Amino acid sequence: MKMRKSQFNLLTKIFFYIVLSGLSIGFLIPFLWMISTALKKPEYVWVFPPQWIPNPVVWKNFPEALKIMNFSFHLRNTLIITSLTMLGTLLSSSLVAYGFAMFRFKFREVLFMLLLSTMMLPSQVTIIPLFIVFTSLRWVNTFKPLIIPSFFGSPFFIFLLRQFFLTIPRELNEAAIIDGAGYFTIYRKIILPLSKPAIASVAIFQFMGAWNDFFGPLVYLNQMEKYPLSLALYAFRGVYSTDWHYLMAASVVITLPCLIVFFLAQRYFIQGITLTGMKG
């Protein structure tokens, strides 16, 4: 019996690895092509049949691309915007989600639908009036329009966290209230610890969203010194020609921090949360 079980486990394991590896290759192909292009001399980028292994391998493309787009300078801007919006989003969105999930109040359903509906109007028609709002506040050509709104909650994350908070049994809340705990204490000591994977997801998504945000900085920033990496990347897209090898090299480098953040956030994705310790 035991032997059969372990054989079965081994087979399933091998099966998993095969399936996963097969899918991985499919997912990786565009990237491999990106890296391959990043290492080519410009005249070999478009050669046919497609050259997978560049010949010659031009490692130089990477430092050159980073120098041309002034990477370290614009990195600073991206870091400022990303870290502040992450702070703002995590703080505000979780509090608002807690409000929608754990409290009963009049108009709750209506307000929640209102929250969702703000995501249903295409930004193309709200951007001009919004831009005028920011102009009158004199926030244009600063980071303010990019950072300050994140401190007021983002509908996407509020909705996400609300769904997660609703998976937490109500008894926990009620027990804590009977014990005299304040709502904020419950939030801090019960809700948050049980929602680590959800919070980690929000952190990952917000980081990635802010790190790659193109449209916001495009519209609100008028001076090149203020450009984050996402705009600086366009140095390689001229009006009539594109420096593909540099564009791909720079894109690869810009992607790396997001991967690192994702990798590190994985330790919050611990499998199987037990609730036994929560009674009393």
Partner 1 sequence: MERKSRLAQREAKYGYLFISPWLLGFLMFVIIPIIASLYLSFTNYELFKPGTSWIGFKNYIELLTQDRLFWLSLYNTVYYTVFSVPLGIGVALILALLLNRKLYGVTIYRTIFYLPSVTSGVALSLLWVWLFNPTYGLINVLLGKIGIQGPGWISDPKWAKPAFILMSLWGVGGTMVILLAGLQGVPEQLYEAAELDGANWWQKFRHVTFPMISPVIFFNLIMGIIGAFQYFTQAYVMTGGGPVDSTLFYVLYLFRQGFLLLRMGYASAMAWLLFIVILLLTIIQFKLASYWVYYEAEGR
Partner 2 sequence: MKRLISLVVGILFMCTFSSLFGAEVTTVTIWTPHDFDVRYKDKGVYETLWRPFEEEHPNIKIQWTRVPDWEQKFRIAAAAGQLPDIFAVDGINVPAYATRGLLEPLDRWVPKEVQRDYWRPALEEMTWDGKLYAVGLETNAHLLYYNTALFKNAGISKPPTSWEELVSIGQKLTQDFNGDGKIDQFGLSIPLGRNEYVMWILSAFIWANKGDIISPDGTRAVCNEPKAVEAVQFLSDLVNKYKIVPKAGQIQAGPEGAFIGQKVAMEYGGTFNLGPWQKYLKTVPWKVTFTPGAVKGTRVSGVGGWHFAMWSGSKNKEAAGEVIKYLTSPYMIKTLASSYGIALRMSISKEMKQDSTYPWSVGIAQMKVGRPRPRHPEYPTITDAMQQAFDNAILGGIPPKQALDEAARRINEVLKKK
Q: Which of 10, 14, 18, 23 binds partner 1 (CB under 8 A)?
A: 23
Q: Is 262 exposed, middle or buried (0-12, 13-18, 19+ CB in 10 A)?
A: middle
List residues binding partner 2 (CB under 8 A). 42-48, 68, 127-128, 131-132, 135, 140, 214-215, 218-219, 222-224, 231, 234-244
Per CB under 8 A, which of residues 130..159 are in contact with partner 1?
Answer: 130, 133, 149, 151-153, 155-156, 158-159
| Least distance in angstroms from the C-beta of 239 to partner 1 | 15
| Least distance in angstroms from the C-beta of 234 to partner 1 | 8
Residues in contact with partner 1, total (CB under 8 A)?
103
| Least distance in angstroms from the C-beta of 209 to partner 1 | 10
Q: Which of 2, 105, 180, 239 binds partner 1 (CB under 8 A)?
A: 105
Q: What is the number of H-type helices and E-type strands within the chain? A: 14, 0
| Least distance in angstroms from the C-beta of 80 to partner 1 | 18
Closer to partner 2 by CB, 95 or 219: give it. Answer: 219
Q: Check if the beta carbon of residue 211 is closer than 8 Å to that of residue 146.
A: no
Closest among 280, 72, 247, 55 to 181, alpha carbons compared: 280
Distances from the Cα of 266 to the Cα of 196, 259, 262, angstroms: 11, 11, 6
Tell me the C-alpha distance between 278 and 67, whole Å: 54
Q: Check if the beta carbon of residue 249 is closer than 8 Å to that of residue 38.
A: yes
Instruction: Tell me how crowded residue 107 is: count the other CB atoms within 10 A of its CB.
Output: 8
**Helix or strand holding residue 121 (H, E):** none
Answer yes or no whether residue 197 interacts with partner 1 by CB under 8 A.
yes
Q: Which of 216, 230, 235, 245 binds partner 1 (CB under 8 A)?
A: 230
